[in-house]
């Protein structure tokens, strides 16, 4: 029987929600949580011998140390393969899966650059998970939706891939049928660069035969674009554009600064109905003559981090109290009279960019010189 180690966060390990996100790495015997279903799907050829876990906050805040400890726990279980997740749209969980997978190996026979072990690894998360961008070129990532609703379908696809990765043929160079990725840069012979296997595209180029020559395809694309119809480029560009930094503030003593947060701080009762996940809009809240943000007046509606510390003292997210001090002492000119708030978990980058453009417009109107943007 082939041996598998499964990595999950504190939640899927059954050890608690956000209040337990600070848990250090640990190990549980056998399959736990989603691992139980995965074990059933894998059948008798492969067994989950251990489940390693770590709290999401703990991993993000102690990445090096947590990765080293988790690797030790993985090694102790002597696995033939590591499976991490699925993390779906959860950013911190996805980053942990990505970090551990990259340290543990990669495609069969082709560990990621800098990996400390070289076992086959597989993880699963949504294409928009920040962890996905970090590893999709080096590590196979099963594509998922944003929430655990499609857990079963994701684990079914994962089980098929795990079986392929563990099969003897997978490691044999030149095998056109199996999962041979022994060629350079993770570009497969015999395996599509993503899609067909249910994996996230790796960003590699892959040779294929098509019936029409490049000139014809290019003209068709151009005509489709001119007609405003649907078109699919053959070479998608990276979605993020570089920007030039704005000029810095010359004289803080005469500058006005605004406060923006993606930590979901709103007046108690959430009058604008800011969503705790997949936010679509932001709220603008007047600071009035407040010297600080009182726990009786404000709360965080963010659904992706443990909000107790912020709810106890909202200045821990939006540091109004000490900024008032700075203004009084003259080291800062003043504060914009509103703060802006939304939740950043699961929010698509384009939606966040739209919100930021709206916020920027009102800041410009009020001649704001700089922004402190806080995120959990």
Partner 1 sequence: MAKELERAGIPTVHVTNLVSVSENTGAKRIMSGRAIPHVFGDPSLDADEERRLRRRLVEQALDMLREQDNAP
> Residue 180 and residue 40: Cα distance in Å, rounded?
26
> Residue 194 and residue 204: Cα distance in Å, rounded?
9
Q: Quick check: 322 binds partner 1 (CB under 8 A)?
A: yes
Residues in a beta bridge with 321: none
H/E segment holding residue 180: none
Q: Quick check: 69 binds partner 1 (CB under 8 A)?
A: no
Q: Quick check: 295 binds partner 1 (CB under 8 A)?
A: no
Q: Quick check: 316 binds partner 1 (CB under 8 A)?
A: yes
Longest Cα–Cα distance of the chain, Å, equals 73
Q: Quick check: 114 binds partner 1 (CB under 8 A)?
A: no
Residue from 7, 51, 57, 119 that binds partner 1 (CB under 8 A)? 57
Cα–Cα nearest to 141, from 74, 182, 193: 193
Q: Quick check: 355 binds partner 1 (CB under 8 A)?
A: yes
> Residue 270 and residue 299: Cα distance in Å, rounded?
8
Q: Quick check: 337 binds partner 1 (CB under 8 A)?
A: no
CB of 289 to partner 1, least distance (A): 20
Phi/psi of residue 302, nearest 5 degrees: -65, 135
Beta pairing, strands 334-341 & 81-84: unpaired
CB of 243 to partner 1, least distance (A): 5
**Residue (49 or 368) nearer to partner 1, CB:** 368
Site map (CB under 8 A) of partner 1, residues 357-376, x = contact: x-xxx-xx---xxxxxxxxx
**Residue (197 or 299) nearer to partner 1, CB:** 299
Q: Quick check: 92 binds partner 1 (CB under 8 A)?
A: yes
Q: Quick check: 101 binds partner 1 (CB under 8 A)?
A: no
Cα–Cα nearest to 278, from 126, 136, 172: 126
Which two structure tokens, joined as six digits, stand for 178?
Answer: 């199996």
Q: Quick check: 218 binds partner 1 (CB under 8 A)?
A: no
Q: Report the Cα–Cα distance between both ends of the chain, in Å, rounded.
A: 43
Beta pairing, strands 256-261 & 81-84: unpaired
CB of 288 to partner 1, least distance (A): 20
Residue 271 CB: number of other CB atoms within 10 A?
A: 10
Q: Stretches 27-35, 160-168, 207-215, 344-352: which one binds partner 1 (CB under 8 A)?
A: 344-352
> Residue 15 and residue 123: Cα distance in Å, rounded?
21
CB of 308 to partner 1, least distance (A): 7
Q: Quick check: 90 binds partner 1 (CB under 8 A)?
A: no
> Residue 191 and residue 195: Cα distance in Å, rounded?
10
CA 131 to chain centre: 4
CB of 323 to partner 1, least distance (A): 6
Q: Quick check: 242 binds partner 1 (CB under 8 A)?
A: yes
Q: Quick check: 296 binds partner 1 (CB under 8 A)?
A: no
Q: Quick check: 65 binds partner 1 (CB under 8 A)?
A: no
CB of 184 to partner 1, least distance (A): 25
**Residue (39 or 343) nearer to partner 1, CB:** 343
Q: Quick check: 50 binds partner 1 (CB under 8 A)?
A: no
Residue 174 zone, left/alpha/beta (φ > 0; ψ -120 to 50; rest): left
> Residue 176 and residue 182: Cα distance in Å, rounded?
11
Q: Which residues in this chain contact partner 1 in the complex, by CB under 8 A? A: 18, 21, 57, 60-61, 91-92, 95, 130, 133-134, 240-250, 252, 255, 257, 260, 262-263, 305-310, 312-313, 315-319, 321-323, 325-326, 331-332, 344, 349, 352-353, 355-357, 359-361, 363-364, 368-376
């Amino acid at each position: 029987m082939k041996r598998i180690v499964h990595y999950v966060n504190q939640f899927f390990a059954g050890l608690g929600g956000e209040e337990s996100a600070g848990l250090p790495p640990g190990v549980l015997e056998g399959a736990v949580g989603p691992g139980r279903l995965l074990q059933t799907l894998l059948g008798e050829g492969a067994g989950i011998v251990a489940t390693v876990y770590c709290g999401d906050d703990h991993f993000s805040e102690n990445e090096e140390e947590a990765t080293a400890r988790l690797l030790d726990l993985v090694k102790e279980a002597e696995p033939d393969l590591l499976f991490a997740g699925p993390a779906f749209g959860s950013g911190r969980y996805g980053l942990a899966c990505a970090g551990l997978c990259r340290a543990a190996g990669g495609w069969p026979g082709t560990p990621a650059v800098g990996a400390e072990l070289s076992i086959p690894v597989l993880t699963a998360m949504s294409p928009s998970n920040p962890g996905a961008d970090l590893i999709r070129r080096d590590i196979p990532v099963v594509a998922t939706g944003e929430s655990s609703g499609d857990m079963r379908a994701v684990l079914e696809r994962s089980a098929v891939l795990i079986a392929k990765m563990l099969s003897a043929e997978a490691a044999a160079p030149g095998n056109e049928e199996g999962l041979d990725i022994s060629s350079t840069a993770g570009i497969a012979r015999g395996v599509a660069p993503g899609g067909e296997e249910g994996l996230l595209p790796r960003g590699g180029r892959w040779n294929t035969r098509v019936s029409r020559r490049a000139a014809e395809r290019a003209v068709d694309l151009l005509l489709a674009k001119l007609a405003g119809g649907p078109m699919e480029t053959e070479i998608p560009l990276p979605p993020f554009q570089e920007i030039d930094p704005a000029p810095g503030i010359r004289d803080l003593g005469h500058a006005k600064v605004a406060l923006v947060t993606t930590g979901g701080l709103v007046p108690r009762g959430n009058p604008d109905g800011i969503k705790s996940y997949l936010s679509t809009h932001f709220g603008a809240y007047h600071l009035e003559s407040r010297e600080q943000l009182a726990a009786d007046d404000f709360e965080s509606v963010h659904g992706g981090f443990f909000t107790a510390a912020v709810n106890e003292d909202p200045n821990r997210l939006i540091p109004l109290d000490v900024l008032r001090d700075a203004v009084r002492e003259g080291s800062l000119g003043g504060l914009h009279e509103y703060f802006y708030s939304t939740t950043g978990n699961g929010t698509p980058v384009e939606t966040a960019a739209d919100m930021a453009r709206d916020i920027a417009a009102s800041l410009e109107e009020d001649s704001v010189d700089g922004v402190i943007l806080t995120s959990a």
